[in-house]
A and B are shown apart, each in its own frame.
Chain A
Amino acid sequence: MIELKKVSKQFGEVQAVRDVSFGAKKGDIIGFLGPNGAGKTTTMRLIMGLIHPTSGTVEILKSNPITNRLQTLTHIGYLPENNPLYGEMQVQEYLSFVADLKNVNDKEIVAKIISSVDIEEKLTAKIEELSRGYRQRVGLAAALIGDPDILILDEPTSGLDPIEQEKIKKLIIKIATRKIIIFSTHILSEVEDVANRLIIIAKGTVVYDGEKPKRAGAVEKLFKKLVQ
């Protein structure tokens, strides 16, 4: 359902990703690991069609996310890095806004999502007044509107305390059925707890793509071996 073939992206002199190839199918929960600047966000933005590859091809549900951008985006939910939101909006207002733009007119669907991410008591709060954990849940709720087949989550637990991290992890596991989830993270234990597949990227190149090692601490060992 997702297919990247020899995808490279260059920003001026900087080669952000080089010959990245991988595929993903329903049920995959891919932990996307890599040090800072390795190319995780660039790869995710390439999948979203937010940037165009310098070379190579990206296919989403057998469709090109650049030439068929609007159609492709109806199948993808995206939580960008640092979760940018409209702070001046109330939570309910923001989610209705996103639902409108995704052509989701059924209020019950939005209500179900709100309930699934447990933000009912914050619906009338302004987003700028929310804690980081709640903001993250609002971003996740927005990504879930429209029941997308693919979820791209760029560091969904970044900056959260351990309790909030745990809540987000449980949420991802809860919503994972019948979807492809690709989430990037720096927290290796998160991959052990949530992912069923692991992709490690270093200096713009995929250095590991396979099943997640099952033994406790094995992800960390593998990561250190390949990256350091």
Chain B
Amino acid sequence: MKSLIRKELAFYLNNPLGYIVITLFAVFANFMYVKDIFVNGSASMRPFFDVLPWLLMIFVPALTMRMIAEEKRTNTLEVLLSLPISEAQIIGAKFVASVILTGIGLLLTVGLPLSLLVLTGEVGSSIYLPEILVGYLGVMLMVCGYVALSLFYSGLTSNQIVAFLASVVTIFFLIIFSTDFASGSIPTALQGVFNYLSPATQLAGFVKGIIDFRAVLYFISFSLLFLFLTIVDIEKRK
């Protein structure tokens, strides 16, 4: 499986596409936070984590859309399936590679808490580092869910753009129905369901520095469900 992961990573890291997408994400993520930092007047990373579900909604599908769709278009998936490796290994490797790539993007945002640490230190205050670490943990769990969902759509089509759009739209609706903006337009009985299904709602606890095991379970189940569906879809085509 290591070779498969290396192959996926090598494609992005030997190709301007990977650097462009990761850099764009880092620029937007840093900018969205920095532009308001002095207006907010508080040394908290919460506004940063609050915006990440929306930013990653674009970034993760952009990285993941080609993973299976391109293999199908060029028929290299048949080459992989003719080798003694299982479908689960193929999908697992693509999943791990995508999570690593997104992790690299997130790594480029650690300058923000470090800057906060310096700035607050200068005024004799400090930020609470464990809260930030738990926030990053929550974001990585959310990334796993986004990657699994995007891989699923990438496996359904050989068109990368279709895979990208389907992933973005699905994540958008998962998030939007839990916001105040849209929750008024859905029946009260369903509001709890949509709230529960929203990655942004599940992330909220982590942003406050709380490791909520129900949310951990949600992200793990969400990821496993879509990885399972992706594998089943490949097997079903036989």
21 pairs, CB–CB < 8 Å, chain A vs chain B: A48-B82, A50-B81, A50-B238, A70-B84, A70-B85, A70-B86, A73-B83, A80-B78, A80-B79, A82-B75, A84-B76, A84-B79, A85-B76, A85-B79, A86-B7, A88-B14, A97-B3, A100-B3, A101-B3, A101-B80, A102-B83
A68 to B: closest C-beta gap in Å: 11
* Binary CB contact string for chain A from 84 to 95 against chain B (1 if under 8 A, 0 otherwise): 111011000100
Chain B residues close to A by CB (< 8 Å): 2-4, 7, 10-11, 14-15, 74-76, 78-86, 238
The answer to whether A52 has its CB under 8 Å from any CB of chain B is yes
Q: Inside 8 A of A100's CB, which chain B residues have their CB? A: 2-3
B238 touching A98, Cβ below 8 Å: no
The interface residues of chain B lying within 8 Å CB-to-CB of A102 are: 83-84
With A50-B81, A70-B86 as given contacts, are A88 and B3 in contact (CB-CB < 8 Å)?
Answer: no
Q: Is A103 an interface residue (CB 8 A)?
A: yes
Which 8 pairs of residues, A with B, have the shortest CB-CB distance?
A100-B3, A84-B75, A78-B82, A73-B84, A101-B83, A84-B76, A70-B84, A52-B238
Cα-based distance from A87 to B11 in the complex (angstroms) = 10
**Given contacts A50-B238, A88-B14, A97 and B7 within 8 Å (CB-CB):** yes
B residues in contact with A181, CB < 8 Å: none
Candidates A80, A84, A93, A101; contact of B84 at CB < 8 Å:
A101
User: Contact at A101–B75, with CB atoms within 8 Å?
Assistant: no
Cβ of B83: which chain A residues have Cβ within 8 Å of it? 73, 98, 101-102
Contacts of A66 in B (CB 8 A): 238
Q: Are A73 and B7 in contact (CB under 8 A)?
A: no
Which of chain A's residues has its CB closest to B81's CB?
A50
A-B pair number, CB within 8 angstroms: 56
Say yes or no: A73 contacts B82, CB within 8 Å. yes
Closest chain A residue, CB of each to CB of B11: A88
Contacts of A85 in B (CB 8 A): 76, 79
**Are B85 and A101 interface neighbours, CB within 8 A?**
yes
Residues from chain B with a CB closer than 8 A to the CB of A74 are 84
Chain A nearest Cβ from B82, distance in angstroms? 4
Chain A residue contacts of B2, Cβ below 8 A: 100
Closest to A46 in B: B238
**Residue numbers in B under 8 Å from A69 (CB-CB):** 86
B75 cross-chain contacts in A, Cβ below 8 A? 80, 82, 84
Least CB separation from B6: chain A residue:
A97
Asked whether any CB of chain B lies closer than 8 Å to the CB of A76, the reply is: yes
Chain B residues with Cβ under 8 A from A101's Cβ?
3-4, 80, 83-85
**Which single residue of chain B is at the shortest CB-CB distance from A142?**
B79
Q: Which residue of B lies closest to A88 (CB)?
A: B11
A218 within 8 A of B: no
Cβ–Cβ < 8 Å partners of B14 in chain A: 88
A86-B4 contact given A73-B84, A98-B83, A102-B83, CB 8 Å threshold: no
4 other A-B residue contacts (CB within 8 Å) besides A70-B85, A84-B74: A74-B84, A78-B82, A86-B7, A101-B84
A97 to chain B, nearest CB (A): 5
Chain B residues positioned under 8 Å from A88 (CB to CB): 11, 14-15
Most A CB contacts (10 A, CB to CB) among B4, B78, B79 go to B79
* Alpha-carbon distance between A147 and B80 when the two chains are bound, in angstroms: 18
A51: CB under 8 A from chain B?
yes
Q: Which of B7, B11, B78 interacts with A84 by CB under 8 Å?
A: B78
* CB-nearest residue of chain A to B84: A73
Contact in complex: B82, A76 (CB < 8 Å): yes
Which B residues are in CB contact (< 8 Å) with A71? 84
The reply to whether A50 and B82 form a contact with Cβ atoms under 8 Å apart is yes
Instruction: Give residues 82-137 of A contacting B (CB, 8 Å).
Output: 82, 84-86, 88-89, 93, 97-98, 100-103
Taking the closest CB of chain B, its distance from the CB of A118, in whole angstroms, is 22
Q: How far is the CB of A45 from chain B (nearest CB, A)?
A: 8
- Complex Cα distance, B89 from A69, in Å, reads 14
A80 to B11, CA, bound (A): 22
Q: Return the chain B residue nearest A71 by Cβ.
A: B84
Contact pattern, A 44-58, Cβ under 8 Å of B = 1, otherwise 0: 000011111000000
Give Cα distance in the complex from A51 to B236, angstroms. 9
- CB closest chain-A residue, reference B1: A101
